[in-house]
Amino acid sequence: MQKNVTAQAMVRKHWKLRDFPHEVWRQRWAYIFISPFYVLFAIFGLFPIGYSLYLSLHEWNGVRPMEYIGLENYKFVFSEKGEIFWDSVQNSVTLFLMYVPLMTFLALVLAVILNSGYVRFFRFFRTTLFMPYVTSMIAAGFVFQILLGTQNGFFNVMLESVGISKVSWLDTVRGTQVSLSMMLIWAWLGYNMVIMLAGLQTISNDLTDAARVDGASSVQAFFHITIPLMRPVILFSLVLSTIGTFNLFNEVMALAGPTGGTKRAVMTPMILIYNTGFRHFKFGRASAEAYIYFMLIAVLTFIQFRYLGEREK
Protein backbone atom coordinates (compact mmCIF):
# COMPACT_ATOMS: atom_id res chain seq x y z
CA MET A 1 0.00 0.00 0.00
CA GLN A 2 2.82 2.37 0.95
CA LYS A 3 4.62 1.62 -2.33
CA ASN A 4 1.49 2.45 -4.34
CA VAL A 5 1.08 5.79 -2.54
CA THR A 6 4.75 6.64 -3.16
CA ALA A 7 4.47 5.70 -6.83
CA GLN A 8 1.33 7.82 -7.24
CA ALA A 9 3.10 10.78 -5.61
CA MET A 10 6.06 10.40 -8.00
CA VAL A 11 3.69 10.24 -10.99
CA ARG A 12 1.91 13.41 -9.84
CA LYS A 13 5.24 15.16 -9.31
CA HIS A 14 6.48 14.10 -12.74
CA TRP A 15 3.19 15.24 -14.29
CA LYS A 16 3.49 18.64 -12.62
CA LEU A 17 7.05 19.10 -13.82
CA ARG A 18 6.08 18.08 -17.34
CA ASP A 19 3.16 20.52 -17.38
CA PHE A 20 5.17 23.39 -15.85
CA PRO A 21 6.16 25.08 -19.18
CA HIS A 22 2.57 24.81 -20.40
CA GLU A 23 1.28 26.31 -17.13
CA VAL A 24 3.76 29.19 -17.37
CA TRP A 25 2.67 29.89 -20.94
CA ARG A 26 -0.98 29.76 -19.92
CA GLN A 27 -0.34 32.34 -17.18
CA ARG A 28 2.10 34.36 -19.30
CA TRP A 29 0.27 37.68 -18.95
CA ALA A 30 0.33 37.45 -15.16
CA TYR A 31 4.07 36.74 -15.22
CA ILE A 32 4.63 39.60 -17.66
CA PHE A 33 2.84 42.07 -15.39
CA ILE A 34 4.86 41.07 -12.30
CA SER A 35 8.16 40.72 -14.20
CA PRO A 36 9.33 44.36 -13.74
CA PHE A 37 9.83 43.76 -10.01
CA TYR A 38 11.89 40.63 -10.55
CA VAL A 39 13.93 42.23 -13.34
CA LEU A 40 14.76 45.24 -11.17
CA PHE A 41 15.47 42.99 -8.18
CA ALA A 42 17.84 40.89 -10.27
CA ILE A 43 19.66 43.97 -11.58
CA PHE A 44 19.86 46.02 -8.38
CA GLY A 45 19.69 43.19 -5.81
CA LEU A 46 21.01 39.81 -6.90
CA PHE A 47 23.66 41.09 -9.29
CA PRO A 48 25.35 43.43 -6.74
CA ILE A 49 25.37 40.63 -4.16
CA GLY A 50 27.00 38.17 -6.54
CA TYR A 51 29.38 40.73 -8.05
CA SER A 52 30.46 41.85 -4.56
CA LEU A 53 31.36 38.26 -3.70
CA TYR A 54 33.34 38.01 -6.93
CA LEU A 55 34.99 41.35 -6.20
CA SER A 56 36.01 40.27 -2.69
CA LEU A 57 38.34 37.70 -4.28
CA HIS A 58 40.17 40.38 -6.27
CA GLU A 59 42.26 43.47 -5.74
CA TRP A 60 40.82 46.43 -7.62
CA ASN A 61 40.99 50.19 -7.27
CA GLY A 62 38.34 50.95 -9.87
CA VAL A 63 40.83 51.88 -12.58
CA ARG A 64 43.42 49.16 -13.07
CA PRO A 65 42.42 45.68 -14.23
CA MET A 66 41.29 43.32 -11.47
CA GLU A 67 43.88 41.01 -9.98
CA TYR A 68 42.69 37.70 -8.55
CA ILE A 69 44.11 37.20 -5.04
CA GLY A 70 41.79 34.50 -3.65
CA LEU A 71 41.03 34.85 0.06
CA GLU A 72 43.72 37.43 0.79
CA ASN A 73 41.16 40.18 1.49
CA TYR A 74 39.47 37.98 4.08
CA LYS A 75 42.82 37.02 5.60
CA PHE A 76 43.71 40.71 5.88
CA VAL A 77 40.55 41.44 7.88
CA PHE A 78 41.34 38.61 10.30
CA SER A 79 45.01 39.60 10.62
CA GLU A 80 46.53 42.20 12.93
CA LYS A 81 46.43 44.76 10.12
CA GLY A 82 42.65 44.44 9.95
CA GLU A 83 42.08 45.27 13.61
CA ILE A 84 40.32 48.49 12.64
CA PHE A 85 37.40 46.39 11.37
CA TRP A 86 37.05 44.67 14.73
CA ASP A 87 37.39 48.02 16.49
CA SER A 88 34.41 49.23 14.46
CA VAL A 89 32.45 46.13 15.49
CA GLN A 90 33.39 46.77 19.13
CA ASN A 91 32.22 50.38 18.77
CA SER A 92 28.88 49.17 17.45
CA VAL A 93 28.49 46.76 20.38
CA THR A 94 29.34 49.57 22.81
CA LEU A 95 26.82 51.92 21.22
CA PHE A 96 24.19 49.16 21.27
CA LEU A 97 24.65 48.65 25.01
CA MET A 98 24.67 52.39 25.68
CA TYR A 99 21.40 53.35 24.01
CA VAL A 100 19.30 50.38 22.85
CA PRO A 101 18.21 48.97 26.27
CA LEU A 102 17.34 52.46 27.57
CA MET A 103 15.59 53.45 24.34
CA THR A 104 13.57 50.21 24.22
CA PHE A 105 12.49 50.57 27.85
CA LEU A 106 11.51 54.22 27.42
CA ALA A 107 9.62 53.37 24.23
CA LEU A 108 7.67 50.68 26.05
CA VAL A 109 6.91 52.95 29.02
CA LEU A 110 5.73 55.79 26.77
CA ALA A 111 3.60 53.37 24.75
CA VAL A 112 1.96 52.06 27.93
CA ILE A 113 1.23 55.62 29.10
CA LEU A 114 -0.28 56.64 25.76
CA ASN A 115 -2.25 53.39 25.57
CA SER A 116 -3.68 53.78 29.07
CA GLY A 117 -6.52 56.01 27.89
CA TYR A 118 -5.81 58.64 30.56
CA VAL A 119 -3.70 60.87 28.31
CA ARG A 120 -5.46 63.75 26.61
CA PHE A 121 -4.41 64.75 23.09
CA PHE A 122 -3.17 61.21 22.43
CA ARG A 123 -2.62 61.80 18.69
CA PHE A 124 -0.70 65.03 19.31
CA PHE A 125 1.81 63.39 21.65
CA ARG A 126 2.17 60.34 19.41
CA THR A 127 2.89 62.55 16.39
CA THR A 128 5.28 64.78 18.34
CA LEU A 129 7.32 61.83 19.61
CA PHE A 130 7.40 60.29 16.14
CA MET A 131 8.53 63.45 14.33
CA PRO A 132 12.30 63.04 15.01
CA TYR A 133 12.19 59.80 13.00
CA VAL A 134 11.17 61.65 9.84
CA THR A 135 13.67 64.47 10.46
CA SER A 136 16.79 64.58 8.29
CA MET A 137 19.64 62.99 10.23
CA ILE A 138 22.15 65.25 8.50
CA ALA A 139 20.32 68.33 9.75
CA ALA A 140 19.88 66.77 13.20
CA GLY A 141 23.61 66.00 13.35
CA PHE A 142 24.53 69.63 12.72
CA VAL A 143 22.04 70.77 15.35
CA PHE A 144 23.54 68.37 17.90
CA GLN A 145 27.02 69.66 17.03
CA ILE A 146 25.84 73.14 17.97
CA LEU A 147 24.15 71.91 21.15
CA LEU A 148 27.17 69.84 22.25
CA GLY A 149 29.96 72.29 21.36
CA THR A 150 32.66 72.35 24.03
CA GLN A 151 33.09 76.13 24.16
CA ASN A 152 29.73 77.70 23.37
CA GLY A 153 27.43 74.69 23.10
CA PHE A 154 23.96 75.06 24.62
CA PHE A 155 24.44 72.13 27.00
CA ASN A 156 27.73 73.45 28.37
CA VAL A 157 26.30 76.96 28.73
CA MET A 158 23.45 75.51 30.79
CA LEU A 159 25.88 73.46 32.90
CA GLU A 160 28.02 76.50 33.60
CA SER A 161 24.96 78.48 34.62
CA VAL A 162 24.37 76.03 37.50
CA GLY A 163 28.05 75.85 38.48
CA ILE A 164 29.04 72.64 36.68
CA SER A 165 32.22 72.64 34.59
CA LYS A 166 32.10 72.15 30.84
CA VAL A 167 31.96 68.66 29.37
CA SER A 168 34.03 67.67 26.31
CA TRP A 169 31.11 66.07 24.51
CA LEU A 170 32.73 65.63 21.10
CA ASP A 171 36.42 65.81 22.04
CA THR A 172 36.79 62.52 23.95
CA VAL A 173 36.05 58.90 23.13
CA ARG A 174 33.41 58.39 25.80
CA GLY A 175 31.93 61.85 25.28
CA THR A 176 31.49 61.21 21.55
CA GLN A 177 29.83 57.86 22.23
CA VAL A 178 27.47 59.40 24.79
CA SER A 179 26.65 62.25 22.40
CA LEU A 180 25.82 59.87 19.56
CA SER A 181 23.74 57.73 21.93
CA MET A 182 21.68 60.75 22.97
CA MET A 183 21.12 61.65 19.34
CA LEU A 184 20.07 58.09 18.49
CA ILE A 185 17.63 57.92 21.41
CA TRP A 186 16.12 61.24 20.28
CA ALA A 187 15.85 60.04 16.68
CA TRP A 188 14.54 56.49 17.19
CA LEU A 189 12.52 56.65 20.41
CA GLY A 190 9.30 57.62 18.66
CA TYR A 191 9.67 54.95 15.98
CA ASN A 192 10.09 52.18 18.57
CA MET A 193 7.29 53.66 20.65
CA VAL A 194 4.88 53.33 17.71
CA ILE A 195 5.93 49.67 17.31
CA MET A 196 5.30 49.06 21.01
CA LEU A 197 1.99 50.91 20.84
CA ALA A 198 0.83 48.70 17.99
CA GLY A 199 1.72 45.62 20.04
CA LEU A 200 -0.04 46.92 23.16
CA GLN A 201 -3.26 47.48 21.25
CA THR A 202 -3.43 43.74 20.55
CA ILE A 203 -3.38 42.93 24.29
CA SER A 204 -6.71 42.84 26.09
CA ASN A 205 -7.06 45.23 29.02
CA ASP A 206 -8.99 42.52 30.88
CA LEU A 207 -5.72 40.82 31.85
CA THR A 208 -4.33 43.93 33.53
CA ASP A 209 -7.68 44.69 35.17
CA ALA A 210 -7.86 41.15 36.54
CA ALA A 211 -4.36 41.47 37.99
CA ARG A 212 -5.29 44.71 39.71
CA VAL A 213 -8.43 43.09 41.15
CA ASP A 214 -6.17 40.39 42.61
CA GLY A 215 -4.10 43.07 44.33
CA ALA A 216 -1.29 43.68 41.85
CA SER A 217 -0.01 47.23 41.53
CA SER A 218 0.42 49.00 38.20
CA VAL A 219 4.18 48.38 38.31
CA GLN A 220 3.70 44.67 39.04
CA ALA A 221 1.17 44.36 36.22
CA PHE A 222 3.62 46.10 33.88
CA PHE A 223 6.52 43.76 34.65
CA HIS A 224 4.59 40.51 35.07
CA ILE A 225 1.86 40.86 32.42
CA THR A 226 2.65 43.57 29.88
CA ILE A 227 6.32 42.77 29.29
CA PRO A 228 5.85 38.96 28.92
CA LEU A 229 2.98 39.46 26.47
CA MET A 230 5.02 42.04 24.57
CA ARG A 231 8.00 39.71 24.21
CA PRO A 232 7.65 39.14 20.42
CA VAL A 233 7.29 42.88 19.79
CA ILE A 234 10.26 43.70 22.03
CA LEU A 235 12.31 41.08 20.20
CA PHE A 236 11.33 42.60 16.87
CA SER A 237 12.39 46.04 18.10
CA LEU A 238 15.71 44.68 19.42
CA VAL A 239 16.51 42.95 16.13
CA LEU A 240 15.81 46.13 14.19
CA SER A 241 17.89 48.14 16.66
CA THR A 242 20.78 45.68 16.38
CA ILE A 243 20.84 45.87 12.60
CA GLY A 244 20.37 49.63 12.75
CA THR A 245 23.25 50.10 15.19
CA PHE A 246 25.68 48.20 12.99
CA ASN A 247 24.30 50.06 9.96
CA LEU A 248 24.81 53.54 11.41
CA PHE A 249 26.03 55.88 8.70
CA ASN A 250 24.18 59.19 8.34
CA GLU A 251 24.16 59.87 12.08
CA VAL A 252 27.89 59.23 12.43
CA MET A 253 28.79 61.20 9.32
CA ALA A 254 26.74 64.19 10.47
CA LEU A 255 27.93 64.22 14.10
CA ALA A 256 31.52 62.92 13.94
CA GLY A 257 32.50 62.87 10.26
CA PRO A 258 34.00 60.03 8.17
CA THR A 259 36.84 59.52 10.68
CA GLY A 260 34.39 58.40 13.38
CA GLY A 261 35.27 61.15 15.83
CA THR A 262 38.11 61.26 18.33
CA LYS A 263 40.27 58.12 18.01
CA ARG A 264 37.56 56.56 15.81
CA ALA A 265 35.26 56.48 18.84
CA VAL A 266 32.08 55.92 16.81
CA MET A 267 33.55 54.34 13.68
CA THR A 268 30.98 51.72 12.63
CA PRO A 269 31.36 48.89 10.07
CA MET A 270 29.34 50.84 7.50
CA ILE A 271 31.59 53.90 7.84
CA LEU A 272 34.68 51.68 7.61
CA ILE A 273 33.40 49.89 4.49
CA TYR A 274 32.61 53.27 2.91
CA ASN A 275 36.09 54.59 3.73
CA THR A 276 37.81 51.44 2.43
CA GLY A 277 35.92 51.48 -0.84
CA PHE A 278 35.31 55.12 -1.69
CA ARG A 279 38.11 56.94 0.13
CA HIS A 280 40.97 54.43 -0.20
CA PHE A 281 39.63 52.81 -3.41
CA LYS A 282 40.15 49.24 -2.21
CA PHE A 283 36.91 47.80 -3.49
CA GLY A 284 37.90 44.15 -3.08
CA ARG A 285 38.77 44.58 0.59
CA ALA A 286 35.60 46.61 1.15
CA SER A 287 33.54 43.76 -0.36
CA ALA A 288 35.25 41.24 1.93
CA GLU A 289 34.52 43.45 4.95
CA ALA A 290 30.90 43.72 3.85
CA TYR A 291 30.50 39.93 3.65
CA ILE A 292 32.13 39.37 7.04
CA TYR A 293 29.89 42.09 8.45
CA PHE A 294 26.83 40.37 6.94
CA MET A 295 27.78 37.09 8.62
CA LEU A 296 28.18 38.83 11.98
CA ILE A 297 24.72 40.41 11.69
CA ALA A 298 23.22 37.03 10.74
CA VAL A 299 24.82 35.37 13.78
CA LEU A 300 23.68 38.14 16.15
CA THR A 301 20.14 37.96 14.80
CA PHE A 302 20.10 34.17 15.20
CA ILE A 303 21.31 34.48 18.81
CA GLN A 304 18.59 37.01 19.59
CA PHE A 305 15.86 34.79 18.12
CA ARG A 306 17.36 31.72 19.82
CA TYR A 307 17.55 33.11 23.33
CA LEU A 308 14.95 35.88 23.34
CA GLY A 309 12.31 34.43 21.05
CA GLU A 310 9.40 32.34 22.21
CA ARG A 311 10.33 28.73 22.81
CA GLU A 312 8.13 25.86 21.83
CA LYS A 313 6.71 23.94 24.73
Give the model's pLDDT for residue 29. 87
Domains of the chain: 2-55 (no CATH), 76-308 (1.10.3720.10)
> What pTM, to 2 d.p., does this model score?
0.81
pLDDT digits (tens, 9 = 90+) for 151-180: 788 888 888 888 888 888 888 889 899 999
| Residues 183/140, Cβ–Cβ less than 8 Å | yes
Give the model's pLDDT for residue 16. 59
Which value, to the nearest 10 degrees, does the dihedral of the CA atoms of residues 142, 144, 150, 151 take? 70
Q: For residue 68, which phi and psi values (nearest 5 degrees)?
A: -70, 125
Burial class (CB in 10 A: 0-12, 13-18, 19+), 132: middle
| Residues 210/203, Cβ–Cβ less than 8 Å | no
pLDDT digits (tens, 9 = 90+) for 48-72: 999 999 999 999 988 889 999 999 9
pLDDT digits (tens, 9 = 90+) for 195-237: 999 888 888 777 777 877 777 777 787 788 888 888 888 888 9
In the predicted model, is pLDDT for residue 96 greater than 50? Answer: yes
In the predicted model, is pLDDT for residue 313 greater than 60? Answer: no
